[in-house]
Chain A
Amino acid sequence: MDYQDIELLRFTTAGSVDDGKSTLIGRLLYDSKSIFQDQLDAVEASSKSKGFDYVDLSLLTDGLKSEREQGITIDVAYRYFATPKRKFIIADTPGHIQYTRNMVTGASTANLAIILVDARKGMLEQTHRHAFIASLLRIPHAIVCVNKMDLVDYSEEVYTQIVADFKAFSSKLDIKDIQFIPISALNGDNVVNRSENMDWYDGSTLMYHLETVHISSDHNLVDCRFPIQSVIRPHTIEHQDYRGFAGRIDGGIFKPGDKVKSLPSGFVTTIKTIELNGEQISEAFAPMSVTMTLEDEIDNSRGDMIVRENNVPEVGQDIEVLVSWMSTKPIQARTKVVIKHTTNETVGMVKELKYKIDINTLHRIEDIDKVEMNDIARLSIRTAKPIFFDAYKKNRQTGSIIIIDEQTNETIGAGMII
C-alpha cells in the first residue's frame, strides 16, 4: 500500500431516529475490515445480553453510557476507517430534532454528506432538515442513501418515488453534486458489495462512490488568504533577525517571490520564503500549515491576514450572517457577543434579527424578536474592529464565524457570512 498517495475524505452522516445510521456506519467499518476482533467480541456480547439474535452493529458507534442505555446517539462521534484508496473520517451526528447543532458542527468540516432516508417512510421533516443543512453549510457532495430496501421488497417503484420527492425538495437548495443509492445497511446491499437483490439499479455502491468522488477542487485555490496565527521569533544568535509568520492557508496558492499585501496595514511586500521545520516549500495552498517570511520588515501580528495585492477580501465592521443557534439561551437584538473569525477575535453587537428560515418550507419568517436553539436565522452584526472576510459561498474558512457568550464563554452560534 502506498500511503503517500492516499487522500483524506471527511464525511458526515445524518439520519432520523431509527433509520439505521449507526447500522450503516457499523456496516462500512465491518465490511471494510476496520473493526477489530476485540471490538466485535464486545458488541456480540452486548447484543446477546440485550437478547438480540443478531449482532447489533450500531453498538459499535454509540460510545457513551447514557447512549447505550437509551439506545440513541447524543453527540457528534468521530469514526475512522481506511481502504487502499482513501482514508475516511466520519462525523456521526444524531438525527433528533433537538440536536441540529451537532449536525451543523459535523457538517462544517465535511467534504461529503450521507443523507439517510428510510424506504418505508420516505421524506420526513428531518430529511428536509438534513438536506437543508448540507446545503447551508455548503458541503460539496451529497449521497442520499435510501435505506431498508429489504423491508420494501427491494422495490424500484418505492426507490424512484423517494428520489423524485427528494429532487423536488432539493431543487430549491444549493447542493452541487447529489447521488442516490438504494441500500440495506442491515444486509449490506450496495454498501460495500453490490446487491444481488436489485438488478434494476446499475449505479455504483456507496463505498465505490466514497472512494472515487472527486474532492481535489473542494478547496478554494484562487483567492489567496493567509491569516496569521502567531509570529515566530527565535531570539537566538543563529536566527537573530528571523521573523516568521505562522498560519494555515485558507485559500489560493502562495509562492516565494509573490507580491503580497498585509491587512489591515495595507503594506505591500514580497514573500521571501515559505517553510516548515526549516524545509523550503516551493508553493503552498489550502489546507497547509506553513511559516512565511517576508522581504520587508512589517509589524504583523495574530489576526492579520496576508493576501494578494490585487485580490483582497472584504474589510469591514458590518457583516450579514446566517446563523445556526446553538444555545438554550435565545438571542435578541442589541446583545453584545464575542466573535471569532479566522485567527481574529473581536467584540460584536447583534444589531438586527432579520428573519428565520422555516426548514420545511424554506420560507422566511419575518418580524422576529428572538432566535432560539436550533433556529436558522439571518442577523446583522457590527464588530468592534474591522475583520477581513469573504462570503461563505466563496470560502468556507474566511466566510465563517462562531459567536461566543461574553459571560459564560460558551459557543452559542455558528455563522456563515452572506
Chain B
Amino acid sequence: MSNYIINHLRELESEAIFVIREIAAQFENPVLLFSGGKDSILLTHLAKKAFFPAKIPFPLIHIDTGHNFPETIAFRDELVEKLGVTLVVGSVQEAIDKGRAKEETGADASRNSLQIVSLLDTLEEYKVDAAMGGARRDEEKARAKERFFSHRDEFGQWDPKNQRPELWNLFNGRKNYGEHFRVFPISNWTEMDVWEYIKLENIDLPMLYFSHQRDCVVRDGVILANSEFIKLKEGEEVVNMTIRYRTCGDMPITGAVESTADDLDKIIEEIATTRTTERGGRADDKRAETAMEDRKKQGYF
C-alpha cells in the first residue's frame, strides 16, 4: 500500500466491482450467467464483495446442457445455498424435447451450440435486460474485441463492427425495448490473474480443477472424460489418467490436461510454464478459425 499504488489484482478487482455495481444500478433485471466454471465462480465472489453486507441483488442463471460434470452441479447448489441467492436453471434438454433445438448427431456431437437457444429463451422468459458473464478478452481472439457493456439487438445478436465506444469508466447501458446487454466485468483478467486472485482470496473451486484420477478417452489429441455422453470411435480405448481441467464446459467437449498439480500453488506454477492456451483443449473452438466469432454473433456467450 506504500506510495498509494494498488497491485494489479486489486486494481482488476476494483474495476470488476465497479462494473458489477454499474450493472445493478443501470438495469432493472440483471442476472449473472453461472456456468460452474472458475470464471463464473470468481464473478460470483466479486458480486458478493460488491454488495456486502447485503446479498447479491440478482439471480444466477445456469444453462444446463444435461452434459455437465456432476461435480459442477453439486458445487453450484452448495454455493447458491451458502450465498442465499436465487438460481434459475435453463434446460437444453427441455429445449430439445420441445423441438426448439435439434441435437447434433455423430460421434463428435455436442450440445455446445444448442445452449444459444436455451440461453436466449431463458433471458426472454425472465425479461432479462443485462446478463453478466465471466468471459475474458484473453481467452479467444473474438472475445478480445468485446466491450465491458456489449449491446445485443432484439434477436440477441452481436455486431462486432457496430459496438459502442467505451471511454474512461463511463458505461452506456441505455437501450431500446427488447434489446439487452451482455456485460463482462472480468474482461481484463488473464488466466494467471484469475488463479492468483483465487489464491489471494482463498476461493473454493470444484475438485475438477485439481489433479485427480479419471477414466479418459484421447480423441484428436484432446483428453476427454469417459462418460455416458461419449461414443467410442473405432480404435479408441478408455485409459485411467492423472489429470485436471483448466476450463470446465460440457463433459464431451472439455479437454483435460495431464497434471499432478493438486493445490493452487502448483497450478499457478504449472500455468506459468505451460505453452498452450486454456481453450486449446476446447473441441468447440477447433471447428473453424472463427468458430467463436460465428457463435457469438448468433448470441452465444
Which B residues from 149 to 173 make CB contacts under 8 A with A?
Answer: 160-161, 163-170, 172
Q: Could you tell me the distance between the alpha carbons of A402 and B272 in the complex, rounded to whole angstroms? A: 39
> What string of 1s and 0s marks CB contacts (under 8 Å) between B270-301 and chain A?
00101111001000000001100100000000
Distance to closest chain B CB from A290 (angstroms): 9
Q: A134 near B: Cβ within 8 Å? A: no
**A7-B5, A238-B53 in contact; A77/B144 too (CB < 8 A)?**
yes
Residue count of chain B within 8 Å CB distance of chain A = 64
Distance to closest chain A CB from B165 (angstroms): 4
Which B residues from 44 to 103 make CB contacts under 8 A with A?
Answer: 48-55
Q: B9 near A: Cβ within 8 Å? A: yes
Residues of chain B within 8 A (CB-CB) of A291 are 52
Which of the residues B6, B138, B190 comes within 8 Å of A288, measured between beta carbons? B6
Which A residues from 47 to 93 make CB contacts under 8 A with B?
Answer: 63-66, 68, 74-80, 82, 86-87, 89
Are B142 and A63 in contact, CB atoms less than 8 angstroms apart?
A: yes
Can you name the residue of chain A whose Cβ is closest to the Cβ of B281?
A: A38
Q: Could you tell me the distance between the alpha carbons of A87 and B3 in the complex, rounded to whole angstroms? A: 18
Are B137 and A78 in contact, CB atoms less than 8 angstroms apart?
A: yes
**A64-B160, A343-B25 in contact; A409/B175 too (CB < 8 A)?**
yes
Distance to closest chain A CB from B270 (angstroms): 13
Are A232 and B54 in contact, CB atoms less than 8 angstroms apart?
A: yes
Are B8 and A87 in contact, CB atoms less than 8 angstroms apart?
A: yes
Are B25 and A248 in contact, CB atoms less than 8 angstroms apart?
A: no
Residues of chain A within 8 A (CB-CB) of B137 are 78, 80
Can you name the residue of chain B whose Cβ is closest to the Cβ of A63?
A: B141
Q: A4 near B: Cβ within 8 Å? A: yes
Q: B121 near A: Cβ within 8 Å? A: no
> What string of 1s and 0s marks CB contacts (under 8 Å) between B9-37 and chain A?
11111110110011011000000000000
**Chain A interface: which size bin?**
35 or more
Q: Could you tell me the distance between the alpha carbons of A101 and B137 in the complex, rounded to whole angstroms? A: 21
Q: A404 near B: Cβ within 8 Å? A: yes
Q: A155 near B: Cβ within 8 Å? A: no
Which of the residues B11, B25, B164 comes within 8 Å of A8, measured between beta carbons? B11
Most chain A CB neighbours (cut-off 10 Å) among B144, B200, B290: B144
Are B8 and A36 in contact, CB atoms less than 8 angstroms apart?
A: no
Q: A332 near B: Cβ within 8 Å? A: no
Which of the residues B170, B188, B290 comes within 8 Å of A402, measured between beta carbons? B170
Which of the residues A74, A80, A289 comes within 8 Å of B190, measured between beta carbons? A80
Apart from A42-B289, A79-B144, A230-B24, what 17 extra A-B contacts exist at CB < 8 Å? A4-B7, A8-B8, A36-B275, A39-B277, A76-B145, A82-B192, A87-B190, A101-B165, A104-B165, A229-B18, A232-B54, A277-B52, A285-B4, A289-B14, A397-B168, A400-B167, A414-B165
A residues in contact (CB < 8 Å) with B: 1, 3-8, 36-39, 42, 46, 63-66, 68, 74-80, 82, 86-87, 89, 101-102, 104-105, 108-109, 215-216, 219, 221, 229-230, 232-236, 238-239, 242, 244, 246-248, 253, 276-278, 283, 285, 287-289, 291, 302, 326, 338, 340-341, 343, 396-397, 400-402, 404, 409-411, 414
- What would be 27 A-B contacts, judged by CB atoms less than 8 Å apart? A6-B7, A7-B8, A36-B275, A36-B277, A63-B293, A64-B160, A75-B160, A76-B145, A77-B145, A78-B137, A78-B145, A80-B138, A104-B165, A105-B167, A229-B18, A229-B21, A229-B25, A230-B24, A276-B52, A277-B48, A287-B15, A302-B25, A397-B168, A397-B169, A409-B172, A410-B164, A414-B167
